Amino acid sequence: MYGEELRIGVFVCDCGLNIAGTVDCKAVAEYSETLDDVVAVIRNKYTCADPGQNEIKKAIIEHKLNRVVVASCTPKIHEPTFRQCVADAGLNPYLYEMANIREHCSWVHQNEKAKATEKAKELVKSAVARARFLEPQIEAEVPVTKAALVIGGGVAGIQSALDLADAGHQVYLVEKEPSIGGIMAALDKTYPTMDCSI
Amino acid sequence: MMDVGRHPRIKLLAYSEIEHVSGFIGNFNVKVRKKARYVDENDCTACGDCVVDCPVIVPDEYQQGLSSRKAIYIQLPQAVPSAYLIDMDHCLGNNPIACGKCQEACEKKCINFDMEDEILELEVGTIIVATGNEVYDPTELDEFGYRSFENVITSMEFERLICAGGPTEGHFVRPTDHQRPIRIGFIQCVGSRSDNRGNPYCSNICCMNTIKDTLLLNDHYPDTESKVFYIDIRAFGKGFEDMFKRSKEAGVKYIRGIPGDVWEDPVTKNIFLAVEDTTSGKVEVHELDLVVLSVGLEPRKDMKHLQQLLTLSSTADGFLLESHPKLKPVDAPTRGIFYAGCVEAPKDVKESVTQASAAAARASIILNAGKVQIEAITAQINTDECNYCGLCAKVCPYHAITAADRKLGIYPEVIQAACAGCGTCGAECPTDAITMRHFTDFQIMAQVDSILDKDNMDKVVAFACNWCSYAGGDLCGTSRLQYPTNVRLIRTMCSGRVDEKFVIHAFKKGAPLVLVSGCHFADCHYINAVTWTQKRVEKLWNKLERLGIRPERLQLEWISAAEGQKFARVMRELEEMRKKVTPEEVAETIKILEREEAKALEKKAGKAKKAEEALQTA
Amino acid sequence: MAERGKFKCLRCGHEYEDKYTPGVPQERACPKCGSNSVRRIEEKK
Ligand code: SF4
Ligand code: SF4
Ligand code: SF4
Ligand SMILES: [Zn+2]
C-alpha cells in the first residue's frame, strides 16, 4: 500500500454522555478535519452500535478510505469489534487505529472540560500520525489441539470437565488432593435447596 | 463426582500438580506431576483392609482435624478415584522391621512402596482454572476466642459436626462435653468486611450459609435456640429472602451487632458474648452453649505459583483478574484460559456451577473452531541489516529466534508460531534489523513526534504496556479516578518493546519527562521480558547522566492492571516533576543530543569510508 | 551472590542501602515513596 495516497477517516464517538459529557466532541471532530490526509470525519452517538458501524463501512466505500481511526473507548473492549467492522468493508483490519478518549480522557478529567477537549484532539492527532504508518497484515492461523485441561476438581472444575466432555471433547482434570470434591465435598447440605452436596 | 470417574472422555489426574505451562491459545503444553500414591489407583477396591493394621494415627484434614485417620487412608468415603494412598510424611516405611503392615494386609497386592512420581506431558487447546478458594482462619481474631475456647468453632467445623458422614456421625455435639448444644450463636462477617484484619470484601456466601445452618438445626432439633449476630444480612439470590424469612419464623433471633467481647465460663465451658445491639443501642450479654464463627473465603495461598505459570494477574482482593469484569467475566486476559468458581471471586455453589458451564462453553468455542487466528504482531528480521550479533536470540523470552552464526553466514530466524510479539528483540537489535509488525519503529516514532510537536513543555511521554499499565489506566477511567491531563500514553504490547532510541528521540524532541511503565515482574505477560526493560532503563539512566542530562527525567514504574489507584498517583507525581523541568534545561538537552547524533553520524560515515577504501585496495 | 549497594529513588530523592545480586535485574521500590524508579548509584570515591 506504500506509495498510495493516504485517505484517513476519523470517527469521533460521543459514547452517549460518557465522552460528550466532558469532551466537546464537535470541536474534536472539527479539529480532526484539519489534519493532513484526513478526508472524512464522522461523529456518532454510539460508534460501536450497528448504525455507527454501518457509517464506518459506508464511509470506507464512499470516501475510498485506506485508514480508519476511531476515537472512542479503550482498544481492550472494542478493537476486535472495529477490526471486524473495517474488514467487513474490505479493508485490512490492521489499517485501523483507536484513540482512547474515554478511559484515558473524559472519565479521568471530568472537572477539566477545556483541557480534556484539547487532550482528546491531540490523542486523535497522535492516532492519525500512527495510522499513516500502518501496514496491512495477514494473521497466521494455527490449529487447536482438541483437548482441554481443567485445573482443580472442586464443584466448578467438575462441572466444567463434565460439560466439556459431554460436548465431545477430551478433558484432563488435574486435582492436587488425592480425591476430587474440593470444599463442596466437606459441606453437609447446601442452600438454597438443602440437599446433599455430593 | 462419580460421573467424572466414569466418563470416557475425562482423564482424571488426582493427587497431581501442574509443573510447567508453555505455548499459547490452541497449543498449550503442560507438564503435570502425578504424585506417587503408593497404592495402585486402578487395582485398589477401597476395601479398607490395609487401614486396620496401620499403627500411625494423624489428625484428619478432611474432618477439619476433628477426628483422626491412619497413614494409609482415603480422603473421604466417596472419594474419586476410589483408592487409598499412603501419606509418606507419616508412614513408618516398608522395611519389615519398621512396618509394612498394610502391604501384608492387602490381598490384591496393590501397595507398592517403590512407586515414584510420574511426569506427564499434556497437549491441550484451552485451560480452565478452577482451583477454588481457602476458608479464612480466624485464629488471628483473638477477640472471638477461637482456639482458646473449645466451644467456639468455625462454620466449616460446624459442617462436619452436623454431617452424617462427619466424625460424630451426625450426632451434633459440642467439643467440650459431647453434649448437644441448645443455645447456639452465629457470628457473621468473621474475616470479611474489615479493613484492619481479615479481608475487606464481603465473602458473599456466609450469610446464606448461616441461615441454612439455622434451618438445618431447627429441622434436626426443634428445641435449638439460634441467635445470629450480624452487620447486615445479605440474602439477595433467588429464593434466599424466602429462606431468611423461614429462619426468622422458626424462631431464630437476629441481633444486629458484632460481639466485642467473648469469654468462657471455666466450669460449664459455656460461652458469653457481650454485644451492642445496634438497633436498640443496648449492650447485652448472651450465654451460649456453642458459638459458630461464620468465616469468609480467601484466595488460595498457593495460587501465586499457578498464576505465574499461566501469567495471570489478580485484582486487589487477591482473586484472579478477568478479561473484562462485565463483558468477559469468565475469560482470563490471556487468550484460551478461562475461570470457573471461587478463583475469580467468592461465590456459592449455584454461581460456581453457572460459571463453570459458561467457562466450558467458552472453551468449547475454541475447540470446535479447530483453529485460531494469531494476532499479526510478531517479529520479522530483515537480513540485509542484520550483523549476526545474536542479541535477539539471547533476549527472546520464548526462545523463538534461532541462533545466528557469523562464520557460516546463518542469519537468525523468528519462528512465527512461537513469537508472542513482545518486541524485546526489536528493542535490543543494535542495527534495527527487526520489524515488529503493527508496532513498528516508524509508528511509535510518529506518535512521539505528534505528541511533542506542539506545547512540548506541557507533555509527559509515557510508554505503557498493553496488559498492565495501559489496563491500569483503563481501570483508572472505569473507577473515575481523576489525574492531570498532561500525560500522553503510547501503547506497546510489552514494556520490553521500548527501544532506547524511542526515549532518546523523545528527549531530543523536547520532552521534559518520559515514563516507561510495565507489569510487575511477577505479572509479566511475556515470561521475563520485563527484566530487559529494567536493564535497558538502567542503561539509559547511566547514559543520560554521562551526557549531563538528569536521569530523573526518565521515570520507571510497574503498574498492574488492578492498580488504578497507583496509576492515578503516578500521573499526579509525574505532573509535579514535569513542572520542575525548565525550558532552559530542555533546550540544553536537545543541544546535547543533537551533538551526540552528529558525532554518531560522523563515525558511521568514517567507518563506511574506511570499508570502501578497504574494498578498493583488496 | 547478594551484595549490598546504594540506591537512589529518582522520584523523591531518598537514598538507601539494600541487598542486590549483580547482573540480575530485580523489581525495586523506594521504601519511602513506593516509586519503582530506583537506581543503583556507585559509591562516591
Ligand atoms: S455474606 Fe454476610 S457474613 Fe459473609 S461477609 Fe458478606 S455480609 Fe458478612
Ligand atoms: S517479539 Fe518477543 S517473543 Fe517474538 S521473537 Fe522477539 S523477543 Fe521473541
Ligand atoms: S539482534 Fe539484530 S543484528 Fe543481532 S542477530 Fe538479531 S537481528 Fe541480527
Ligand atoms: Zn522515593
At B502, the amino acid letter reads F
3-state percent helix, strand, coil for chain C, nearest multiple of 5: 0, 40, 60
Residues B35 and B170 in one domain: no
Residues B124 and B139 in one domain: no
Residues B582 and B458 in one domain: yes
Q: Residue A66: what pLDDT?
A: 96
Give the DSSP letter of residue B593. H
pLDDT tens over chain A, length 198 residues: 456 799 999 999 999 999 999 999 999 999 999 999 999 999 999 999 999 999 999 999 999 999 999 999 999 889 999 999 999 999 999 999 999 999 999 999 999 999 999 999 999 999 999 999 999 999 988 899 999 999 999 999 999 999 999 999 999 999 999 988 888 776 766 776 666 554
Q: Per-residue pLDDT tens for B118-128?
A: 999 999 999 99
- Ligand 1 binding pocket mutation candidate from B207, B214, B232 (most atoms within 8 A of CB): B207
- Sheet with B118-124, strands from edge to edge, namely B16-24, B27-34, B118-124
| Integer CA distances (angstroms), A182 to A78, B62, B164, B190, B590, in order | 38, 10, 18, 22, 63
Q: Per-residue pLDDT tens for B394-416?
A: 999 888 899 999 999 999 999 88
In a domain, B365, yes or no: no
For the CA atoms of B142, B145, B147, B151, what is the dihedral angle to 10 degrees? -170
Kindly report the nearest CA distance between residue B84 and chain C, in angstroms: 45
Q: How far apart are the first and last CA of chain C?
A: 23
In the block, residue with C-alpha cell 490526509: A37
Task: Reply yes or no on whether the pLDDT at B97 is more than 70.
Answer: no
Task: Say whether the peptide bond before residue A93 is cis (omega within 30 degrees of 0).
Answer: no
Q: Is the CB of B421 under 6 A from ligand 2?
A: yes
Least confident of A25-34, B229-238, B602-611: B602-611
Which chains are within 8 Å of B by 3+ CB pairs? A, C
C-alpha grid cell for residue B304? 501465586
Question: Looking at ligand 3, which residue's alpha carbon is closest to its atom 2?
Answer: B429
Residues B157 and B227 in one domain: yes
Q: Which ligand is nearest to the CA of B392?
A: 3
Note whether B166 and B208 are within 8 A (CB). Answer: no
- Which ligand 3 atom sits nearest the alpha carbon of residue B401? 6
In a domain, B346, yes or no: no
Q: Residue C45: what pLDDT?
A: 45
Which among B128, B162, B194 is the end of a domain?
B128
Residues B148 and B245 in one domain: yes
Q: Per-residue pLDDT tens for B165-200?
A: 777 777 889 999 999 999 999 999 999 999 888 999
User: What span, in angstroms and rounded, lies between the C-alpha atoms of A55 and B60?
Assistant: 66
Domain ranges for chain C:
3-42
* Radius of gyration of chain C measured on its C-alpha atoms: 10
CA-nearest of B420, B515, B524, B397 to B464 is B515
Note whether B12 and B81 are within 8 A (CB). Answer: yes
CA B296 to chain CA centroid, Å, is 19
| CB < 8 Å & 24+ apart, contacts of A111-120 | A111/B482, A112/B485, A113/A22, A113/A23, A113/A24, A115/B485, A116/A22, A116/A23, A116/B485, A117/A23, A117/A24, A117/A27, A117/A28, A118/B485, A119/B485, A120/A19, A120/A23, A120/A25, A120/A28, A120/A71
Question: Looking at ligand 1, which residue's alpha carbon is closest to its atom 4?
Answer: B206
Note the ipTM here.
0.95
Q: Is the CB of B217 under 6 A from ligand 2?
A: no
In a domain, B209, yes or no: yes
Q: Is the CB of B412 under 6 A from ligand 3?
A: yes
Continuous segment of H or E residues that includes residue A1: none
Note whether A141 and B371 are within 8 A (CB). Answer: yes
Chain C from 1 to 40: CB within 8 A of any B CB: 10-11, 25-27, 33, 35-37, 39-40
Q: Is the CB of B433 under 6 A from ligand 3?
A: yes
Domain count, chain B: 3
Residues B35 and B174 in one domain: no
Partner-chain contact A151 B128, CB within 8 Å: yes
Which among B94, B128, B162 is the end of a domain?
B128
Note whether B130 and A151 are within 8 A (CB). Answer: yes
Q: What residues of B are in contact with residue C30 (Cβ under 8 Å)?
A: none
The dihedral region occupied by B587, where left means phi > 0, alpha psi between -120 and 50, and beta the remainder, is alpha
CA-nearest of A106, A125, A105, A97 to A31 is A125
Q: Per-residue pLDDT tens for B283-335?
A: 999 999 999 999 999 999 988 889 888 878 788 788 998 877 777 899 987 88
* CATH number, domain C3-42, options 1.10.287.110, 3.40.50.720, 2.20.28.10, 2.60.200.20: 2.20.28.10
Q: Residue A198: what pLDDT?
A: 47
- Domain CATH for B478: 3.40.50
User: What span, in angstroms and rounded, lies between the C-alpha atoms of B1 and B80?
Assistant: 7
CA of C13 to the centre of ligand 4 (A): 6
Q: What residues of B are in contact with residue A22 (Cβ under 8 Å)?
A: none
Q: Is the CB of B382 under 6 A from ligand 3?
A: no
- Which ligand 1 atom sits nearest the alpha carbon of residue B205? 1
Task: Reply yes or no on whether the pLDDT at C44 is more than 70.
Answer: no
Q: Which residue has the higher pLDDT, B315 or B201?
A: B201
Partner-chain contact B551 C25, CB within 8 Å: no
Q: Which of A112, A191, A198 to mutate to test the interface with B (most CBs of B within 10 A)?
A: A191
Q: Per-residue pLDDT tens for B362-374?
A: 999 999 999 988 8
In a domain, B226, yes or no: yes
Residues B115 and B138 in one domain: no
- Ligand 3 binding pocket mutation candidate from B408, B434, B499, B532 (most atoms within 8 A of CB): B434
Task: Reply yes or no on whether the pLDDT at B112 is more than 60.
Answer: yes
The average pLDDT across B380-403 equals 92
Continuous segment of H or E residues that includes residue B326: none
Q: Taking CA atoms, what residue in A is nearest to B79?
A: A179
Residues B123 and B247 in one domain: no
Q: Per-residue pLDDT tens for C15-39?
A: 999 998 888 899 999 999 999 999 9
Contacts of residue B356, defined as CB under 8 A and 6 or more positions apart, other chains included, come to A155, A156, A157, A158, A159, A160, A163, B128, B130, B340, B341
Q: Which of A106, A160, A170 to mutate to test the interface with B (most CBs of B within 10 A)?
A: A160
Q: What residues of C are in contact with residue B534 (Cβ under 8 Å)?
A: 25-27
In a domain, B426, yes or no: no
Partner-chain contact C25 B573, CB within 8 Å: no
In a domain, B472, yes or no: yes
Q: Would an 8 Å CB–CB cutoff place A75 in contact with chain B? A: yes
- For residue B456, give its domain range: 439-594
Do the two chains C and B touch, given a threshold of 8 Å on CB pairs and at least 3 pairs? yes
DSSP assignment of A89-134 equals: TTS-GGGEEEEE-IIIIITT-TT-HHHHHHHHHHHHHHHHHHHHT-
In a domain, B265, yes or no: yes
For B504, phi then psi, to 5°, come to -60, -40
Q: Residue B94: what pLDDT?
A: 66
Percent of chain B with pLDDT over 90: 71
Q: Is the CB of B423 under 6 A from ligand 2?
A: yes
- Which ligand 3 atom sits nearest the alpha carbon of residue B389? 4
Which among B128, B157, B183 is the end of a domain?
B128
Contacts of residue B302, defined as CB under 8 A and 6 or more positions apart, other chains included, come to none
Q: Is the CB of B419 under 6 A from ligand 2?
A: yes
Q: Is the CB of B398 under 6 A from ligand 2?
A: yes
Q: Residue B247: what pLDDT?
A: 95
Q: B435: helix, coil or strand? A: strand
Secondary structure (H, E, C), B85-99: EECCCCCCCCCCCCC
For the CA atoms of B156, B157, B163, B169, what is the dihedral angle to 10 degrees? 160
Burial of B327 per CB tally in 10 Å (0-12, 13-18, 19+): exposed
Partner-chain contact B551 C39, CB within 8 Å: yes
Q: Per-residue pLDDT tens for B34-89?
A: 999 999 988 888 888 888 888 888 888 877 777 888 889 988 878 888 889 988 88
Residues B89 and B216 in one domain: no
- Ligand 2 binding pocket mutation candidate from B381, B391, B392, B398 (most atoms within 8 A of CB): B398
User: What span, in angstroms and rounded, lies between the C-alpha atoms of C9 and C35?
Assistant: 7
Q: Residue A1: what pLDDT?
A: 46
Partner-chain contact C36 B531, CB within 8 Å: no
Q: Which ligand is nearest to the CA of B552?
A: 4
Q: Which ligand is nearest to the CA of B346?
A: 1
pTM of the model: 0.76
Q: Which of B12, B25, B370 sits opposite A173 (nearest CB)?
A: B12
- Domain CATH for B183: 3.50.50.60
Q: Which residue has the higher pLDDT, B305 or B591?
A: B591
At A43, the amino acid letter reads R
Partner-chain contact A150 B451, CB within 8 Å: no
Q: Is the CB of B419 under 6 A from ligand 1?
A: no
CA of C32 to the centre of ligand 4 (A): 5
Q: At what angle do helices B206-220 and B240-249 cross, to 10 degrees?
A: 40
CA of B515 to the centre of ligand 4 (A): 15
Q: Residue C39: what pLDDT?
A: 95
